[in-house]
Structure formats: structure tokens, C-alpha cells
Amino acid sequence: MPQPLTTSAPPAGASATAPTVRRRLAALLYEAVILFGVVFIAGYLFSTLTQQRNGLTHHNILAAWIGLVVGLYFVWFWTHGGQTLPMKTWRLRVAAADGAPLSTGRAIIRYMLAWLWFLPPLALHPLLGLAVPQTLAIAALWFVLWAATGRFDPQRQFLHDRIAGTRVISVAR
């Protein structure tokens, strides 16, 4: 049975219960599908505008560009209604810890902290000279451990939400 959140009243249309970790991970999977298209279009635009002929040409600038585009995608939706399309589908909304809509600053902090799902194990790859299978195994283990932070949190919030002062709440039908 979902546990009620102990902070102030939720926004209109939201319930006082935190969604299950399973539901949040399902929304994350759907988000990955949507982001595939966003990243594809951003990469295509970059390659066309810079007349990139080789994938290694300007690859660091391309990575920064894609990070910026993905960041703009999330920050825009989180500050304009608190939901991306997958979050609407799974009836989830991100809000400040007190239930208020996210400010731009808090949304940017949440976006930056959400990279903790992936960057720490991926940073080990070049630092320790790991083989790709080792890096993937460490990344999978890290992902499971990070997801467990939501499972064992009393209000079922992931660690990056706790640190950013945000929470994901259920939205009524």
C-alpha cells in the first residue's frame, strides 16, 4: 500500500501518495524512447549545421550540445506543468518537496543530479581503463543500486530527488 507523503498539500489533480518505483521506472523507459527521437534530431541538426563528416570531429561539442538539448527538454516540461509526455501517460508529476511547482533553478539542479544514474560508473571506464563489458556490468549494478534508493526511501523518492528538494507524485485520473 502506498505511503502518504508528509509534506504540504499536493497540487491540484495530484494525490498524496508517492508512485511505486516500478511505475517510475516504466515512465523512465518510455522517456528513453522519446529521448531517442530528441537526441536523433539534435544530432542531425548539429551534424548538418557544422557539416560534420566524421563522428569524431567535434564529438565533445556534440556531447555538450546533446546534453544541453536534453536538459532544455526536461527543464521546460518540469517547469511548465511538471510533466513530460511519459510522465503524463504514467500519471506522474514532479514538484518541489513542498508540493509547489518547480522553479527553473530547481529543475536545472534536478536535471544535473539525475545524471548520477549514469555518469559515475561511466566515468570509471576511462579512469580505470576498463573493458566495455566490465563497464556495462558496473553500470547495470549502479543502476539497480540507485533504483533501490527509491525502494527503501520512506517516501519512495530517489536520491537525486531528495538532494534536489523535489519529489515525484501521483496524479489523479
The dihedral formed by the CA atoms of 126, 127, 130 and 133, expressed in degrees to the nearest 10: -60
pLDDT of residue 16: 57
- Is residue 133 scored above 70 in pLDDT? yes
Digit-coded pLDDT (tens) for 81-96: 999 999 999 999 999 9
Between the CA of residue 134 and those of 40, 112, 130, 131, 140, what are the distances in Å?
Answer: 27, 25, 6, 5, 10
CA-CA distance, 82 to 70, in Å (whole number)?
16
Tell me if 11 is assigned to some domain: no
Looking at the domain assignment, is residue 25 inside a domain?
Answer: yes
DSSP string, 112-142: HHHGGGTHHHHHHHHHHT--HHHHHHHHHHH
For residue 123, being part of any structural domain is answered with yes
How many other C-beta atoms are found inside a 10 Å radius of the C-beta of residue 12?
7
Name the residue range of residue 101's domain. Answer: 21-170
The arithmetic mean of pLDDT across residues 132-148, rounded, is: 93
For residue 115, is it within any domain?
yes
- The terminus-to-terminus CA distance of the chain in angstroms comes to 18
Q: Does residue 114 lie within any of the structural domains?
A: yes
**21 pLDDT more than 70:** yes
- What amino acid occupies position 54? N
pLDDT over 90 at 114, yes or no: yes
- Cβ–Cβ < 8 Å for 95, 10: yes
Number of domains in the chain: 1
The C-alpha atoms of residue 121 and residue 146 are separated, in whole angstroms, by 11
Q: Which helix (H) or strand (E) holds 168?
A: strand 166-170
Q: DSSP class of residue 16?
A: S
